[in-house]
């Protein structure tokens, strides 16, 4: 029986066996063999997969010996750190060769990874047209629509007919983008009127005016709009492409859906890494660099752990008299932390997708608090019963049950409230929420459990 899981994985990545086979084939240093592998056998994404999985020494040797055999599109699929490392192996002329054959958005992404001095050297080796496009692109804010857009687009005047537009597309086929889905309709002053999807154009009579075929709701994207907001527009409107306009409303580029997919993946990955205390993907970074970037987060966690320990120290006498409390404390802290993470994850995701606003924020916080209360009651009954049977002390079961309710309400309340407040104050909720929530659930959980024990048991 076919293993669909393995076959599916083989479609999106190279197998270890295939990578080892390619390494052996390249050991002969035959240019024709490399040409066959990288130009015919592997796609651009597979080549990038190959470069990312071999050792740094093998990667450097491959780039030094076979850079001219690699498809230039391969570099646009590489991880940012890996891209920087790979480009550092190549000469400015080789990098310029890669950039000049890429779409303008991919070329801009690659040159953005380089130091400013090296950027200038490479840009001087490009044609005037490419040079102007890249210099203007670098002037736009990072992570903005201007960095995403490509300059190669299809636009026609509003007074053309469908027949004339089709004739133009056929005549200019060598100058058109490799892929496009919409024709952008413009006025004589290059202002966007709207778009005509290709499926509408090919069905239209030749005599129909382009203006009459234009969709009523154009979606021009301001060049300085944040890429995350652009992704929300694409998702909300189910767009395949969108024109980009300058400050005066004139057409200057187009953003394609494949670039938005990359943005969505990048933003999701960034949020996941931040919630884990990792500022950015450091899989391919040097050991010392990775250690330094993670140290600050671990140091903050150390301080919060000390704070929780100080709370415990206030009840040192209580713990000495009832040793069972020391055994049960991790249960309260663990349940609060996990419940809080659930609420936090939902809230951060909703903020990232613009699903939380002033009108529904209170409702979401109330809902998560209520979920915490109901789960707290349920787990209070379970943990209280187990504790009473385990230690033969019903009052101890009552104490841990009450502490469980308090901590799970706290987890639901602050798990939803903290990211919303951080977002309101302009801070990144994905980065800062976890450590604040963990501190609150630990401190309140320990205070509730040990405080109730001091009142009802001693």
Strand partners, 250: 191
Number of other CB atoms surrounding residue 242 within 10 Å: 26
Strand segments (E) across 137-222:
155-157, 182-186, 192-197, 221-222
Model confidence band, residue 9 (pLDDT cutoffs 50, 70, 90)? very low
Do 426 and 317 sit in the same domain of this protein?
Answer: yes
Facing residues of 183 across strands? 196
What is the reported pTM?
A: 0.65
Question: Could you read off the pLDDT of 294-329 as tens digits, one per residue?
Answer: 677 667 767 777 887 788 888 888 887 788 888 888
Specify the pLDDT at position 135. Answer: 87
Distance CA 363, CA 262 (A): 32
Identify whether residues 216 and 291 lie together within a single domain: no
Which of 251-255, 397-401, 419-423, 430-434 has the weakest average pLDDT? 430-434
C-alpha dihedral sign at 210, 211, 214, 219: positive
Q: Are 108 and 134 in contact (CB under 8 A)?
A: yes
DSSP output for 280-304: S--TTS-HHHHHHHHHHHHHHHHHH
Q: What is the CATH number of the domain that holds 386?
A: 1.10.357.20
Classify residue 341: in a domain, yes or no: yes
Give the SS3 label for residue 183: strand
Domain tally, the chain: 3
Domain span at residue 74 reads 4-143
Q: What share of the chain has pLDDT > 90, as a percent?
A: 27
Q: What is the pLDDT of residues 24-37, one digit of tens each?
A: 888 877 888 888 99
Among 111, 143, 175, identify where a domain stops. Answer: 143
CATH of the domain at 197: 3.10.580.10
4 pLDDT band, cuts 50/70/90, is very low
Which domain CATH number covers 90? Answer: 1.25.60.10
Averaged pLDDT for residues 249-255 = 91
Residue 172's CB is within 10 A of a number of other CB atoms, namely 10
Q: Which of 214, 248, 274 is the last residue of a domain?
A: 274
Query: Do the domain assignments include residue 247?
Result: yes
Tell me what the pLDDT averaged over the chain comes to. Answer: 85
User: To 5 degrees, how large is the angle CA 138–CA 142–CA 147?
Assistant: 60
> Binning pLDDT at 50, 70 and 90, where does residue 354 land?
confident
DSSP code for 75:
G
Give residue 1's pLDDT.
Answer: 33
pLDDT at 5: 38
């Amino acid at each position: 029986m076919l293993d669909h899981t393995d076959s599916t994985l083989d479609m999106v990545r190279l197998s270890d066996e295939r990578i080892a086979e390619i390494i052996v084939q390249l050991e002969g240093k035959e240019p024709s063999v490399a040409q066959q592998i990288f130009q015919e056998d592997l796609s651009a994404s597979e080549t990038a997969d190959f470069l990312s999985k071999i050792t740094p020494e093998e990667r450097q040797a491959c780039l030094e010996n076979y850079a001219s055999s690699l498809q230039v599109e391969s570099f646009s699929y590489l991880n940012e750190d890996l891209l920087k490392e790979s480009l550092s192996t190549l000469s400015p002329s080789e990098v310029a060769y890669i950039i000049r054959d890429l779409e303008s958005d991919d070329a801009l992404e690659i040159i953005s990874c380089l130091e400013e001095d090296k950027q200038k050297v490479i840009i001087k080796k490009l044609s005037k047209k490419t040079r102007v496009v890249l210099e203007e692109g670098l002037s736009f804010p990072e992570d903005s629509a201007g960095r995403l857009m490509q300059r190669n687009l299809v636009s026609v005047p509003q007074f053309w007919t469908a027949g004339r537009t089709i004739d133009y597309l056929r005549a200019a086929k060598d100058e058109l983008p490799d892929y496009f889905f919409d024709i952008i309709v413009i006025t004589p002053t290059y202002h966007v009127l709207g778009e005509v999807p290709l499926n509408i154009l090919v069905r239209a009579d030749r005599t129909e005016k382009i203006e009459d075929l234009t969709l009523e709701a154009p979606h021009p994207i301001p060049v300085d709009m944040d890429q995350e907001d652009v992704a929300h527009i694409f998702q909300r409107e189910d767009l395949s492409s969108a024109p980009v306009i300058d400050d005066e409303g004139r057409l200057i580029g187009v953003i394609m859906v494949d670039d938005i997919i990359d943005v969505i993946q990048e933003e999701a990955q960034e949020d996941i890494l931040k919630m884990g205390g990792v500022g950015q993907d450091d899989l391919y970074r040097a050991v010392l660099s990775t250690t330094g970037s993670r140290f600050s987060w671990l140091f903050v966690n150390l301080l919060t752990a000390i704070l929780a320990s100080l709370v415990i120290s206030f009840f040192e006498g209580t713990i000495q008299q009832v040793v069972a409390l020391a055994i049960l404390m991790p249960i309260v802290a663990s349940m609060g932390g996990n419940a809080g993470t659930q609420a936090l994850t939902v809230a951060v995701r909703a903020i990232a997708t613009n699903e939380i606003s002033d009108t529904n924020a209170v409702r979401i916080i109330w809902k998560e608090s209520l979920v915490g209360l109901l789960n707290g009651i349920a787990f209070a009954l379970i943990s209280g019963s187990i504790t009473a049977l385990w230690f033969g002390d019903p009052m101890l079961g009552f104490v841990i049950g009450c502490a469980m309710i308090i901590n799970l309400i706290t987890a639901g309340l602050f798990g939803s409230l903290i990211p919303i407040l951080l977002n309101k104050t302009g801070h990144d909720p994905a980065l800062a929420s976890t450590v604040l929530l963990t501190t609150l659930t630990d401190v309140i959980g320990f205070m509730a459990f040990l405080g109730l024990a001091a009142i009802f048991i001693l």
